[in-house]
């Protein structure tokens, strides 16, 4: 098994193969010289595939991509990837990766602030670069993530982070890109006694309750918009933090699954003049017109999920990406939680059996996610001038049978692919004298 | 206050001579003999006998005679009922009439802020569990309730069975009349039946918190009661009363068909025959119901239509809900047609006024009038053992009868009077004349005006038409009180404003009204109305309830959609059958020494695999071209929690080996179908992991559409769930859990002692039971442990960290039992050598970790390492979603550890079969094994593989192509019912708001946060969102 580990560490890495423990999984040093990967099948991320291709990068940027042999390899480190696959680094939006270490232990869960309206809290500074979970996720090709606050109505702001770094400062890829809002849902909970709510007459109905919550959001945004035009004498951190929504520098991610909630959320964004992204979007396939007309993309949460309703097509979550593809809606994908994001490539691959092409599935977690996060100018595809965020897999990276990440680069830095799990595997392989 | 009022009320009534002799009287005695003769009536003595033009004579509250002719002895008040009908008073066989208001249910186990109540705190030498209350006697608790009695009497009821609807063993009921009299006077029979249910009701005792716990508790109570008779050490009122009430009819309140069958299993075990009070869905499985040979008490409470005009909201109404809305009214007819003995009850109606509407709806849907009458009179009287007192109109019975305008079930029939024990109750004044008709109005300003009186006697409607130059039509309001009439209407024009007329009936033949009135301007008017003919049928006059019912009556029996099996989305109209099939030219993963065969065939016949190999002859088999496809054995999930009803954990005690998943299999869970669509054919349904020794498990095959018993994997060994870790020690619970954290154990140290203690007790129990003639009490909990000691039941133990796994292996060694499987076993890789030495299998997750502290070192290489060391290794789901992708989970042993593809597939097929001792029947494609076969579009381990067909025992339960047709048919059927609902709403039917309830999905950790109470509560309580928190 040693061979695998050496491969995993990659050519430029100062290897410490036999040392164990998280503490020795070092953040990578900046790219020292040009690198050219040759002989690979290159999945550009925008649908194109280059067979027997090369990709060159220097100082963190892609300098050349093409078919055949690389034009200029002088002074470059050559990585022979013959028979292997090169992909843009996967991008994981809307996740708690880096914010939570153990789900059930409150002290390790740092993704939720108290209160309903917290547009001013930022996930950026809570991002734990030393999480033991992160190396297990990037080992499967996920190189960028959007750690996102949860809870309340407005949970806070998110940033895009690189999954390698000494601290949040140098791991930040793009700071404070979005505000996160959960759209109120009409909860028609049935009463315990079959069909009749326990609420006394005169108590507000679930619809009224939801409308009140929506009204609160609308007035907060209206005030924030006014605040952004001319700041009053008294500073308000919440209102101030929302300015970017109105000048287009930040997006509004709205969690909404039901068809009605999605329509409401999109219309709300239109009224407020903010760029909306729908997160979840279970019913998005029913309201594709409103999404398309308003250029609102959807971040699908999991394909590997059960349908909501007994009557739904048993494969509906598998088919959702294709339904949006057919309708011409921009869609991205995230998985669930934090540690499970290492399955992001498989969540994407899941849609292939149900209508998407493999390259469309790849785009879903590379270019599409980059577009949705507003980072597609610098990443999301393997194109000249973009950041060298990419990895080499021995086989098809969307399939469990073949995924095998051998080298990975973030802004040209060759990152460690070691992790706690590989180390424990090694430790117990030793115990049982397994080869 | 209420009591005082009632007492005064009673005093005002003259006593009849059957009254209480021992009671003192305030003032002069006022005893009347209540002698009445009802003449010229059509007397319906019973459903089978009617006397036309007969006379009913009553005295002292009893029937003195029923005969044709009209001879009346002297001294009787004569009531002429020419043209009218007399029926026996109806009997409601299931009510809480007169019972004290039940307190709200107490909590289940460990609910937030609730105290732990391990044993009963009720004073007195009662049994340990408050849900067993056979000592309750309705006869000692009831109190006449005139308001409620009036409600029932309006519907024609004269007598009821009254019970306390609380607990698992609920004590005895009484039969009472609804007379406004003293408690002593209305009692018909003191102890009528003993009552049961699966719902713990208000019992504060933590146990049981699940349906399987309720079943276990009831079974144990039967055993305890039998033992109680043989011993003298213990004094226990509960057991004594339980025994005493066994000779009465036994009535069991259940909910749906599956729930009826669960109760029936208990009946068979203990030689009982229950009468079932149900929620009225027997039509869904009428054959199975008929086979029980039981009597039923069924409700007339049909579901209200949903508001489905908003298409997006309507999506929240489930297909099963739609179908039940349409088909529930056919339930009484279905029972009648099947020849099942049943009675109808108004129990469960949210509005008593719906009783007759619903009864007529049932008749429109095929229930015969004769059966309806029998089910409301004679049959309840028989079932309750009061045929000598009520049910028919014969001499000597109680004078309980109703007087009606026509035949009872006719839409425009009016119940005039309801006599109970010879006491008159007026439902609708028995007018000498019916005012309905067309009249000419006359009076100042009323020229050319016609009055049409329609509706029903008791609820007349008025329409006023004025012809000529100022022609107008308007609706008025007419009220009749005896001979007095008041009428008002607004002609809108000349004059506008209300004209209010008061008057009286001046003549009945022909009908004529006259009186005075007030005009809008305050002026007065004299008026008359003269009858000119009948009211036009179906005119605008027909807006009253009578008219609505009339419309229904003219309707033909409604067209209803087909039944589906199971009664759920994706149910089949017919359960598919096994097919002899030859799959040609596939890649066949045999899981045998032949390995993976290219371009090979598989032949299945008679539910078994007949042959695997190249170029097999088709014979008569259906040939499926499987070129480019892959064929594997069906997937086996060692750890599943689907298809179980009402709770997966009975975590209220540390040892609950008496509870059985076998008792609560839910064959209607749509996840069965979804998992077939993921290639799963066999699932091991486990108790949860809330306690050290959980419940007995059940192995099922995913036969979609059969009954729960038929889902069980025949001839398989019994297993039981044990659990280690944080769930057992309750350490991962939030701090707000209050004083619930007192259940032992709260540490891994305590867990060891729980096992040692349980098996020590089991050994001692086994020893004393082995002595010939031993009278040792049979203990279901210890029975299961003895089975483990005897290697007749096998352990699958939920486990995480190496320390506790090691501990349990040592406990097993020292106590002399074996661990069969460690399930989840996330640190199995650390103790794989010790497991191998003891031949313990490991069933784990592929890649789960970090969801709680004890999985801090769970690694995706676990499966590979255990496999390499030589442990029989499998991957399980513990999750309804993951279960349908177990093939992909298996593939992760390739991602992490490069296991061979063949071995990877075995992780979810052959290896779990070995762990479950069923590898001689399933798990590989070998001739003679069950034809549990999956056809995949690609390499089954690949993310790109789609399940095209899944066969269980050769039956094609999943077919991707046919699923599309099924969806289409389901959508069309649902669409049709929605249209019907909208029409029904247009006719003024009651509606309810659609409210989506996400189905409850169980995982190990799922603990009911509330004990379910009565059958009605099941749905509401179990359909909650379950967080994905694998434990």
Question: Rounded to an integer, what distance in angstroms lies between the CA atom of residue B861 and that of residue B844?
Answer: 11
Question: Rounded to an integer, what distance in angstroms lies between the CA atom of residue B934 and that of residue B678?
Answer: 9
- Is B320 an 8 Å CB contact of chain A? yes
Q: Is residue B580 a contact partner of residue B604, using CB atoms and an 8 Å limit?
A: yes
Give contacts of B880 with chain A, Cβ < 8 Å. Answer: 306
Question: Rounded to an integer, what distance in angstroms lies between the CA atom of residue B254 and that of residue B198?
Answer: 7
Q: Which residue(s) pair with B439 in the sheet?
A: B451, B531
Fold (CATH) for B635-953:
TIM Barrel (3.20.20)
Between B853, B860, B1020, which is nearest A190 by CB?
Answer: B1020
Among A4, A20, A95, A104, pick the best mutation site for testing chain B contact (most B Cβ within 10 A).
Answer: A104
Residue A207 has what pLDDT? Answer: 85
Residue A240 has what pLDDT? Answer: 96
pLDDT-derived band of residue B414, with 50, 70 and 90 as boundaries? confident
pLDDT-derived band of residue B1007, with 50, 70 and 90 as boundaries? low
CA distance A174 to chain B (A): 27
Residue A155 has which token pair? 């949970």
Question: Rounded to an integer, what distance in angstroms lies between the CA atom of residue B406 and that of residue B428?
Answer: 13
CATH class of the domain defined by B437-554: mainly beta
3-class secondary-structure state, position A148: coil
Residues 88-107 of A with CB under 8 A from B: 101-106
What does the pLDDT look like over A19-36, one tens digit per residue? 456 788 999 999 999 999
| CA-closest candidate to residue B591, choices B893, B900, B846, B909 | B909
Q: Domain segments of chain B: what residues?
A: 91-373+382-388, 437-554, 635-953
Among A3, A7, A95, A103, pick the best mutation site for testing chain B contact (most B Cβ within 10 A).
Answer: A103
Q: Domain segments of chain A: what residues?
A: 90-187+205-378
Give contacts of B674 with chain A, Cβ < 8 Å. Answer: 306-307, 314
Interface contact flag, A401 B829, Cβ < 8 Å: no
- Is B861 an 8 Å CB contact of chain A? yes
Between A191, A310, A339, which is nearest B850 by CB?
Answer: A339
Share of chain B above pLDDT 70, in %: 90
Overall average pLDDT of the B428-450 stretch: 83
Average pLDDT, chain B: 89
Overall average pLDDT of the B45-68 stretch: 95
Residue B483 has what pLDDT? Answer: 79
Between A194, A258, A401, which is nearest B1016 by CB?
Answer: A194
R_g of chain A computed on alpha carbons: 23
Question: Is this complex's ipTM strictly greater than 0.85?
Answer: yes
Q: Is the pLDDT of residue B655 over 70?
A: yes
Among A96, A192, A400, A406, pick the best mutation site for testing chain B contact (most B Cβ within 10 A).
Answer: A400
Residue B682 has which token pair? 């066999």
List of residues 6+ apart from A148 with CB closer than 8 A: A93, A94, A95, A96, A99, A111, A123, A155, A158, A178, A180, A253
Q: Is residue A52 a contact partner of residue A67, using CB atoms and an 8 Å limit?
A: yes
Q: Kindly provide the b/e burial profile for residues B258-292, where b requires at least 16 CB atoms within 10 angstroms of the residue's own CB.
A: bbbbbbbebbeebeeebbbbbbbbbbbbbebbbeb
Residues 669-708 of B with CB under 8 A from A: 670-671, 673-674, 677
Between A102, A192, A337, which is nearest B1021 by CB?
Answer: A192
Strands (E), B698-834: 698-701, 718-723, 793-798, 821-824
Q: Is residue A364 a contact partner of residue A377, using CB atoms and an 8 Å limit?
A: no
What does the pLDDT look like over B366-398, one tens digit per residue? 999 999 999 999 999 999 999 999 999 999 999
| CA-closest candidate to residue A84, choices A406, A426, A412, A414 | A406
What does the pLDDT look like over A147-197, one tens digit per residue? 999 999 999 999 999 999 999 999 999 999 999 999 999 876 543 333 333
What does the pLDDT look like over B765-807, one tens digit per residue? 999 999 988 889 999 999 999 999 999 999 999 999 999 999 9
Q: Is the pLDDT of residue B344 over 80?
A: yes
Between B569, B726, B850, which is nearest A310 by CB?
Answer: B569
Q: Is residue A294 a contact partner of residue A266, using CB atoms and an 8 Å limit?
A: yes
Residue A201 has which token pair? 């007459």
List of residues 6+ apart from B931 with CB closer than 8 A: B578, B604, B605, B607, B608, B609, B951, B952, B953, B954
Residue B495 has what pLDDT? Answer: 81
Residue B404 has what pLDDT? Answer: 95
Strands (E), A89-171: 90-95, 142-147, 154-162
Question: Rounded to an integer, what distance in angstroms lies between the CA atom of residue A138 and that of residue A144?
Answer: 8
Interface contact flag, A353 B1017, Cβ < 8 Å: no
Q: Is the pLDDT of residue B1029 over 70?
A: no
Residues 133-192 of A with CB under 8 A from B: 133, 188-192
- Is B731 an 8 Å CB contact of chain A? no
3-class secondary-structure state, position B218: helix
Interface contact flag, A189 B995, Cβ < 8 Å: yes
Overall average pLDDT of the B901-914 stretch: 98
The residue written with tokens 């009346």 in the block is B72
Interface contact flag, A188 B994, Cβ < 8 Å: yes
| CA-closest candidate to residue B698, choices B661, B669, B664, B667 | B661
| CA-closest candidate to residue A159, choices A238, A224, A250 | A250
What does the pLDDT look like over A238-262, one tens digit per residue? 999 999 999 999 999 999 999 999 9
Q: Is residue A266 a contact partner of residue A291, using CB atoms and an 8 Å limit?
A: yes
Among A7, A199, A341, A399, pick the best mutation site for testing chain B contact (most B Cβ within 10 A).
Answer: A399
- A90-187+205-378 in CATH: which number? 3.20.20.140
Dihedral (CA of B39, B44, B48, B52) sign: positive
| CA-closest candidate to residue B724, choices B784, B795, B787, B783 | B795
- Interface size between A and B, measured as CB pairs under 8 A: 168
Superfamily of B91-373+382-388 according to CATH: Metal-dependent hydrolases (3.20.20.140)
Overall average pLDDT of the B229-243 stretch: 96
Overall average pLDDT of the B299-321 stretch: 90
What's the gap between Cα B519 and its chain centre?
58
**Termini Cα distance of chain B:** 55
Question: Rounded to an integer, what distance in angstroms lies between the CA atom of residue A350 and that of residue B154?
Answer: 62
Question: Rounded to an integer, what distance in angstroms lies between the CA atom of residue B488 and that of residue B475?
Answer: 9
Interface contact flag, B937 A353, Cβ < 8 Å: yes
Give contacts of B1021 with chain A, Cβ < 8 Å. Answer: 192
| CA-closest candidate to residue B849, choices A112, A16, A100 | A100
Residue A193 has what pLDDT? Answer: 31
Interface contact flag, B895 A102, Cβ < 8 Å: no
Closest-CA residue in chain A for B991?
A195
Interface contact flag, B318 A311, Cβ < 8 Å: yes
Interface contact flag, B853 A105, Cβ < 8 Å: yes
Give contacts of B350 with chain A, Cβ < 8 Å. Answer: 195-196
Question: Rounded to an integer, what distance in angstroms lies between the CA atom of residue A39 and that of residue A43?
Answer: 13
Q: Is residue B585 a contact partner of residue B336, using CB atoms and an 8 Å limit?
A: no
pLDDT-derived band of residue B998, with 50, 70 and 90 as boundaries? low
The region of weakest confidence among A171-185, B104-118, B188-202 is B104-118
pLDDT-derived band of residue B668, with 50, 70 and 90 as boundaries? very high
Between B674, B993, B1013, which is nearest A306 by CB?
Answer: B674
**Termini Cα distance of chain A:** 6
Question: Rounded to an integer, what distance in angstroms lies between the CA atom of residue B45 and that of residue A79?
Answer: 101
Q: Is the pLDDT of residue B541 over 60?
A: no
B437-554 and B635-953, same CATH topology: no
Interface contact flag, A102 B1017, Cβ < 8 Å: no
Q: Is residue A331 a contact partner of residue A321, using CB atoms and an 8 Å limit?
A: yes
- Is B104 an 8 Å CB contact of chain A? no
Overall average pLDDT of the B61-78 stretch: 93
Give contacts of A258 with chain B, Cβ < 8 Å. Answer: 312
Residue A20 has what pLDDT? Answer: 52
Question: Rounded to an integer, what distance in angstroms lies between the CA atom of residue B1006 and that of residue B993?
Answer: 29
Whole-number Cα distances in Å, B976 to B310, B970, B971, B979, B992: 15, 10, 9, 5, 18
Whole-number Cα distances in Å, B258 to A298, B254, B278, B293, B1017: 42, 9, 11, 16, 16
Closest-CA residue in chain A for B1012?
A192
Dihedral (CA of B124, B125, B126, B129) sign: positive
Strands (E), B833-942: 841-844, 873-875, 933-936
Overall average pLDDT of the A55-70 stretch: 96
Question: Rounded to an integer, what distance in angstroms lies between the CA atom of residue B255 and that of residue B280?
Answer: 8
Q: Is residue B362 a contact partner of residue B317, using CB atoms and an 8 Å limit?
A: no
The residue written with tokens 């018909």 in the block is B188
Q: Is the pLDDT of residue B111 over 60?
A: no
Whole-number Cα distances in Å, B637 to A76, A399, B428, B942, B958: 51, 22, 64, 18, 17
Q: Is residue B887 a contact partner of residue B849, using CB atoms and an 8 Å limit?
A: no
Interface contact flag, B943 A400, Cβ < 8 Å: yes
Residues 250-309 of A with CB under 8 A from B: 258-260, 286, 304-309
List of residues 6+ apart from A49 with CB closer than 8 A: A41, A42, A43, A359
Interface contact flag, B1020 A193, Cβ < 8 Å: yes
List of residues 6+ apart from B101 with CB closer than 8 A: none
């Amino acid at each position: 098994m040693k061979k695998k580990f050496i491969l995993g560490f990659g050519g430029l890495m100062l290897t410490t193969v036999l040392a164990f423990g998280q503490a020795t999984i070092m953040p990578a040093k900046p790219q020292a010289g040009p690198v050219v990967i040759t002989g690979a099948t290159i999945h550009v991320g925008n649908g194109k595939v280059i067979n027997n291709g090369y990709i060159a990068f220097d100082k963190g940027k892609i300098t050349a991509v093409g078919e055949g042999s690389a034009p200029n390899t002088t002074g470059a480190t050559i990585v022979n990837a013959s028979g292997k696959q090169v992909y843009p680094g996967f991008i994981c939006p809307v996740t708690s990766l880096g914010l939570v270490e153990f789900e059930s232990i409150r002290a390790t869960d740092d993704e939720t602030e108290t209160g309903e309206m917290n547009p001013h809290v930022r996930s950026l500074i809570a991002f734990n670069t030393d999480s033991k979970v992160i190396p297990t996720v990037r080992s499967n090709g996920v190189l960028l993530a959007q750690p996102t606050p949860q809870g309340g109505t407005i949970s806070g702001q998110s940033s895009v982070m690189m999954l390698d770094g000494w601290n949040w400062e140098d791991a930040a890829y793009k700071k404070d890109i979005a505000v996160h809002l959960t759209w109120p849902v009409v909860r028609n909970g049935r009463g315990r006694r079959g069909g009749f709510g326990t609420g006394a007459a005169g108590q507000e109905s679930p619809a009224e309750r939801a409308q009140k919550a929506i009204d609160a959001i609308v007035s907060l945004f209206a005030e924030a918009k006014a605040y952004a035009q001319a700041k009053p004498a008294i500073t308000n951190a919440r209102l101030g933090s929302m300015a970017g929504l109105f000048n287009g520098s930040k997006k509004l991610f709205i969690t909404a699954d039901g068809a009605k909630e999605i329509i409401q959320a999109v219309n709300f964004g239109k009224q407020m003049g903010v760029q909306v992204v729908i997160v979840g979007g279970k019913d998005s396939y029913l309201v594709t017109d409103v999404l398309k007309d308003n250029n609102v993309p959807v971040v699908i949460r999991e394909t590997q999920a059960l349908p909501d309703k007994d009557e739904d097509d048993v494969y509906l979550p598998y088919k959702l990406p294709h339904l949006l593809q057919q309708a011409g809606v921009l869609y991205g994908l995230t998985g669930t939680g934090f540690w499970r994001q290492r399955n992001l490539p498989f969540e994407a691959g899941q849609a292939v059996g149900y209508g998407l092409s493999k390259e469309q599935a790849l785009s879903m977690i590379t270019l599409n996610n980059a577009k949705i996060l507003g980072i597609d100018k610098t990443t999301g595809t393997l194109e000249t001038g973009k950041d060298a965020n990419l990895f080499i897999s021995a086989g098809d990276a969307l399939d469990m049978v073949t995924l095998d990440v051998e080298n990975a680069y973030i802004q040209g830095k060759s990152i460690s692919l070691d992790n706690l799990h590989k180390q424990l595997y090694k430790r117990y392989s030793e115990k049982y004298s397994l080869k | 206050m209420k009591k005082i009022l009632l007492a005064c009320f009673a005093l005002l009534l003259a006593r009849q001579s059957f009254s209480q002799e021992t009671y003192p009287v305030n003032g002069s005695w006022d005893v009347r003999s209540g002698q009445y003769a009802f003449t010229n009536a059509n007397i319906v003595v019973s459903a089978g006998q009617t006397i036309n033009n007969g006379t009913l004579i009553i005295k002292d509250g009893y029937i003195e005679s029923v005969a044709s002719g009209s001879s009346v002895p002297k001294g009787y008040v004569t009531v002429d009922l020419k043209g009218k009908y007399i029926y026996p008073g109806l009997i409601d066989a299931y009510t809480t009439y007169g019972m004290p208001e039940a307190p709200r249910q107490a909590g289940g186990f460990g609910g937030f802020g609730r105290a732990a109540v391990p044993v009963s705190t009720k004073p007195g030498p009662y049994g340990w569990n408050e849900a067993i209350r056979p000592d309750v006697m309705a006869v000692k608790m009831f109190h006449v309730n005139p308001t409620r009695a009036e409600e029932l009497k309006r519907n024609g009821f004269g007598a009821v069975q009254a019970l306390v609807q609380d607990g698992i063993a609920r004590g005895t009921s009484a039969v009472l009349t609804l007379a406004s009299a003293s408690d002593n006077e209305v009692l018909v029979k003191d102890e009528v039946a003993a009552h049961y249910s699966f719902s713990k009701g208000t019992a504060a005792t933590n146990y049981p918190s699940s349906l399987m716990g309720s079943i276990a508790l009831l079974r144990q109570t039967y055993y305890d009661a039998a033992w109680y008779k043989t011993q003298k050490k213990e004094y226990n009122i509960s057991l004594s009363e339980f025994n005493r009430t066994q000779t009465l009819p036994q009535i069991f309140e259940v909910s749906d068909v599956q729930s009826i069958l669960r109760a029936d299993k208990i009946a068979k075990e203990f030689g009982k025959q229950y009468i079932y009070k149900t929620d009225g869905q027997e039509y869904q499985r009428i054959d199975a119901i008929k086979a029980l040979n039981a009597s039923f008490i069924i409700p007339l409470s049909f579901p209200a239509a949903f508001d489905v005009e908003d298409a997006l909201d309507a999506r929240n109404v489930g297909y099963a809900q739609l179908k039940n809305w349409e088909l529930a009214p056919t339930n009484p007819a279905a029972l009648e047609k099947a020849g099942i003995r049943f009675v109808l009850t108004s129990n469960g109606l949210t509005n008593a006024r719906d009783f007759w509407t619903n009864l007529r709806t049932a008749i429109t849907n095929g229930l015969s009038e004769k059966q309806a009458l029998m089910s409301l009179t004679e049959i309840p009287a028989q079932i309750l053992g009061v045929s000598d007192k009520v049910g028919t109109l014969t001499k000597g019975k109680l004078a309980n009868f109703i007087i009606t305008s026509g035949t009872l079930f006719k839409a425009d029939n009016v119940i005039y009077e309801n006599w109970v024990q010879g006491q008159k109750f007026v439902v609708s004044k028995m007018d000498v004349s019916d005012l309905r008709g067309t009249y000419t109005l006359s009076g100042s300003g009323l020229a050319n005006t016609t009055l049409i009186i329609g509706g029903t006697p008791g609820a007349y409607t008025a329409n006023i038409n004025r012809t000529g130059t100022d022609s107008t039509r308007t609706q008025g309001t007419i009220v009749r009180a005896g001979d007095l009439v008041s009428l008002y209407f607004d002609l809108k024009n000349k004059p506008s404003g209300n004209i209010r007329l008061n008057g009286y009936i001046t003549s009945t033949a022909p009908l004529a009204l006259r009186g005075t009135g007030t005009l809008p301007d305050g002026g007065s008017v004299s008026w008359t109305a003269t009858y000119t003919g009948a009211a036009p049928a179906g005119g605008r006059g027909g807006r009253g309830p009578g008219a609505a019912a009339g419309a229904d009556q003219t309707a033909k029996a409604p067209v209803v959609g087909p039944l589906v099996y199971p009664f759920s989305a994706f149910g089949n109209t017919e359960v598919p059958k096994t097919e002899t099939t030859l799959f040609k030219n596939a890649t066949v993963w045999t899981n045998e020494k032949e390995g993976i065969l290219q371009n090979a065939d598989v032949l299945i016949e008679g539910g078994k695999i007949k042959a695997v190999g190249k170029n097999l002859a088709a014979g008569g088999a259906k040939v499926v071209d499987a070129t480019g496809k892959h064929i594997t054995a069906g997937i086996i999930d060692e750890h599943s929690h689907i298809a179980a009803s009402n709770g997966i954990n009975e975590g209220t005690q540390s040892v609950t080996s008496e509870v059985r998943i076998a008792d609560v299999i839910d064959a209607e869970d749509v996840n069965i179908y979804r998992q077939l669509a993921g290639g799963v054919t066999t699932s091991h349904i486990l108790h949860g992991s809330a306690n050290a020794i959980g419940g007995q498990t059940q192995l099922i095959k995913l036969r979609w559409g059969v009954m729960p018993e038929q889902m069980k994997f025949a001839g398989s060994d019994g297993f039981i769930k044990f659990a280690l870790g944080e769930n057992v020690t309750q350490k991962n619970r939030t701090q707000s859990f209050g004083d619930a954290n007192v259940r032992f154990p709260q540490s891994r140290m305590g867990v060891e002692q729980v096992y040692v203690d349980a098996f020590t007790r089991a050994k001692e129990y086994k020893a004393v039971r082995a002595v010939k003639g031993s009278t040792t009490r049979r203990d279901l909990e210890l029975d299961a442990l003895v089975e483990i000691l005897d290697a007749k039941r096998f352990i699958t133990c939920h486990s995480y960290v190496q320390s506790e796994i090691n501990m349990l292996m040592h406990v097993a060694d020292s106590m002399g039992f074996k661990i069969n499987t460690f399930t989840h076993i996330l640190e199995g890789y650390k103790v794989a050598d010790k497991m191998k030495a003891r031949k313990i299998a490991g069933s784990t997750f592929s890649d789960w970790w970090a969801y709680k502290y004890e999985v801090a070192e769970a690694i995706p290489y676990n499966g590979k390492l255990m496999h390499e060391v030589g442990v029989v290794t499998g991957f399980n789901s513990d999750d309804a979603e993951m279960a349908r992708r177990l093939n992909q989970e298996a593939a992760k042993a390739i991602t992490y550890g490069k296991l061979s593809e063949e071995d990877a597939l075995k992780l979810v097929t052959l290896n779990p079969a070995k762990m479950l001792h069923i590898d001689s029947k399933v798990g590989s494609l070998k001739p003679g094994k069950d034809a549990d076969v999956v056809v995949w579009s690609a390499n089954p381990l690949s993310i790109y593989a789609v399940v095209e067909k899944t066969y269980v025992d050769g039956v094609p339960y999943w077919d991707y192509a046919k699923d599309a047709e099924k969806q289409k048919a389901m959508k069309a059927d649902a669409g049709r019912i929605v249209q019907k609902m909208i029409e029904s709403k247009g006719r003024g039917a009651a509606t309810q708001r659609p409210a989506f309830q996400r189905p409850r999905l169980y995982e190990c950790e799922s603990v009911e946060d509330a004990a379910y109470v009565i059958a009605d509560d099941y749905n509401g309580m179990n359909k909650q969102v379950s967080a994905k928190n694998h434990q």
